[in-house]
Structure 1
Amino acid sequence: MSPDDGVPAWLDTLRNSLDDPGTPHTFTEEERRPAAVLILLGEDTLPGPDGGAPVGGPDLLFIERAAGLRSHPGQVAFPGGGYEPGDHDLADTALRESVEETGLDRDGVQVLGELATIEVPISGYQVTPVLGWWRRPSPIGVVDPGEVAAVLRIPIARLADPENRFTMTHPSGRYGPGFFIGELLIWGLTAYMVDGVLTRGGWQQPWDRRRTKNIPDRYLGRV
């Protein structure tokens, strides 16, 4: 572990990358719709796929959005949402939304920093990823079934596994990285953020970008 604050050594590469978070996007005041997501890194021992040996080590926290939502139904995402006037900053936004969606105890989360803000033209949001270390894990679960179908911890080893990586194709012709974890698909903005975290953390493995899949219809909502 790091000698100063208890952050484990396996996070050093990712943490050190925050010195160069990239070039933030800029917007006019009329375009600004600030939002934040929490990329929460923890450690746990989880059941292996198909009842196999347990999978341990670092993991990331995700939510699966409710299938009945008009926007992004059934999609796997990082917890988060829009900035509210009472929020102290965007890290506060990410933590507040995570509590509302997963029941997380925010006092057990140590914020490590932020990555560059990402513009989402289709929604008008500017999304800031907030990195956190789950230094004191707490019980988590679905708070509002109308919004969230499941709360998930997915090992980084499974996300980095080349067998779980695909290039996803949208009906519009857009394409980008995708992750199939069992029956779950991670695509779109969340997949781009996961891909970036894998690269920054030194966990990225070469994968065949020629392996393509179409995004299933059930994930294609209004937005």
Structure 2
Amino acid sequence: MSMPEPGSGENIELLPQRAPAWMRGLVDAVAAGHTNAAVPEINRRKPRVPDSRIKGAAVLMLFSGAETTAELPADAEVLLTHRNPRLRSHSGQIAFPGGRIDAEDKNVVDTALREAWEETGLDRHHVSPLATLPELHIMTSGFPIWPVLGHWHIRGDVRVASPDELDEVLAVPVQELINPENRLMVGKEFWRGPAFRINGYLVWGFTGGLLSAIIESAGWEEPWDKNTTHSLAEAVENSRNNEATRLW
């Protein structure tokens, strides 16, 4: 039996005024819908068969970094996870912390914080929830997801708290994500989308598209090659992801 989360249901109201100066442009872009518009169209497809029983999921886009500068700080990082390759769904992929909405969750912020605690041990009271993006959808299934943007104002220890779900927790420097050498377009059949090479992993799909949209909307993007499309299968094969490619 899993232990209850300390402070479950607390710290679930959005507090955009707590955004550090370097994140305020991003929070404004989210509020104006610009970030959602930057996500590849295929990731916003509605479910093929509407089902009222589908509650969806929420993910936490958690950034950390100095609060005393208006420019993107050198220590800015985003929290990501590597999903256990033995999972049946999205195995071996890099993802934001998150998961399905439970009936007990007060709202999507509550879901995102609870799931982040279950997966990484993140203390929800160290997070400032700043904004939520409108509903997005997984490209293959149309499964609805609500991304929650937050700032990690008190850096604490995180770890693999749920080894059945994860095998690594990563605090990825934003400067590495925006480095043009780490960015590429990948494609398979009718689909193409932005991706990142980080620590030997390939970040693609929903997470890659959302990260790309965040970077673009925040004004952090540097020119990179968007015209050359690399084989998704080859890019995954040459990565540390260890994905079950038969599932996609």
The answer for the alignment partner of 2:55 in structure 1 is: 33
Distance 2:56 2:246 in 1: 22
For the residue of structure 2 that corresponds to 1:57, the secondary structure is coil
The answer for the alignment partner of 1:188 in structure 2 is: 205
CA apart distance, 1:211: 3.3
Equivalent residues in 2 for 1:43-122 (5 A)?
A: 43=65, 56-120=74-138, 122=140
Q: 1:18 to 1:210 in 2, by over 3 A?
A: closer
CA apart distance, 1:210: 2.8
Q: 1:169 to 1:26 in 2, by over 3 A?
A: closer
Q: 1:186 to 1:26 in 2, by over 3 A?
A: closer
Please provide the CA RMSD for this pair: 2.3
Contact 1:71 1:221 (8 Å CA) reproduced: no
The percent identity for this pair of structures is: 34
The answer for the alignment partner of 2:193 in structure 1 is: 176
Distance 1:155 1:144 in 2: 23
Contact 2:18 2:128 (8 Å CA) reproduced: no
The answer for the alignment partner of 2:13 in structure 1 is: none
For the residue of structure 2 that corresponds to 1:168, the secondary structure is strand
For the residue of structure 2 that corresponds to 1:15, the secondary structure is helix
Range that drifts further, 177-186 or 26-35: 26-35
Contact 1:165 1:177 (8 Å CA) reproduced: yes
Contact 2:192 2:229 (8 Å CA) reproduced: no
1:69-95 deviation line (CA, Å, top 9, x unaligned): 122121111010111100000111111
For the residue of structure 2 that corresponds to 1:158, the secondary structure is helix
Out of 10, 15, 20, the position equivalent to 1:8 is 20
Distance 1:119 1:153 in 2: 25
The one-letter amino acid of 2:213's match is G
**Structure 2 unaligned runs (5+)?**
1-15, 38-43, 67-72
Distance 1:66 1:221 in 2: 16
Equivalent residues in 2 for 1:108-187 (5 A)?
A: 108-120=126-138, 122-170=140-188, 172-187=189-204
TM-score, normalised on structure 2?
0.77
Distance 2:155 2:231 in 1: 36
Query: Number of matched residues?
Result: 209
The answer for the alignment partner of 2:230 in structure 1 is: 213
1:20-49 deviation line (CA, Å, top 9, x unaligned): 1258887755374321100001028xxxxx
The answer for the alignment partner of 1:42 in structure 2 is: 64
1:173-214 deviation line (CA, Å, top 9, x unaligned): 411101011311100000110011101211111211133322
For the residue of structure 1 that corresponds to 2:128, the secondary structure is strand
Q: 1:26 to 1:180 in 2, by over 3 A?
A: closer
The one-letter amino acid of 1:186's match is V
Distance 2:212 2:115 in 1: 23
Contact 2:61 2:150 (8 Å CA) reproduced: yes
Distance 1:188 1:75 in 2: 9
TM-score, normalised on structure 1?
0.85
